[in-house]
Amino acid sequence: MNDISVGAVGAAIIAGLVSLLGLIIGKEQKISEFRQAWINDLRKCLIAYLVQINAIADAIRSRAQPGGPGTAAIIENYKALNEASHGIVLRVNPDEATAKALLASMSAFENLAKNNATLTPTNIEEAEKVYVSASKNLLKHEWKRVKRGERTYVLSKYIVLTCIILLIVAMIYLWRSYTPKVDGASKEENPMQVINNQVSCPLVPSSPRLQGARENTIARHKRSLRDAKAKEVRTRSCTGYEFNPIRGKSMR
24-39 exposure pattern, b = at least 16 Cβ within 10 A, e = fewer: beeebeeebeeeeeeb
Q: Are residues 44 and 160 in the same domain?
A: yes
CB < 8 Å & 24+ apart, contacts of 82-90: 83/48, 84/45, 84/46, 84/48, 84/49, 84/52, 85/49, 85/110, 87/41, 87/42, 87/45, 87/48, 88/42, 88/45, 88/46, 88/49
Q: Are residues 32 and 109 in the same domain?
A: yes
Domain count, the chain: 2
Q: Are residues 105 and 230 in the same domain?
A: no
Answer yes or no: is 183 within a domain.
no
pLDDT at site 43 = 92
pLDDT at site 67 = 64
Rounded average pLDDT per 10-residue block, the chain, 252 residues: 64 76 75 85 92 83 68 81 90 90 89 78 85 92 79 74 81 76 50 46 56 76 80 65 47 46
Q: Are residues 49 and 101 in the same domain?
A: yes
Q: Are residues 93 and 10 in the same domain?
A: yes
Angle at the Cα of 107 from the Cα atoms of 141 and 144, rounded to 5 degrees:
5
Answer yes or no: is 26 within a domain.
yes
Q: What's the pTM?
A: 0.53
Q: Are residues 14 and 73 in the same domain?
A: yes
Q: Are residues 16 and 140 in the same domain?
A: yes
Residue type, 164: I
What domain range includes position 107? 3-166
Q: Are residues 108 and 224 in the same domain?
A: no
pLDDT at site 188 = 47
Answer yes or no: is 16 within a domain.
yes
192 with 201: CB under 8 angstroms?
Answer: yes
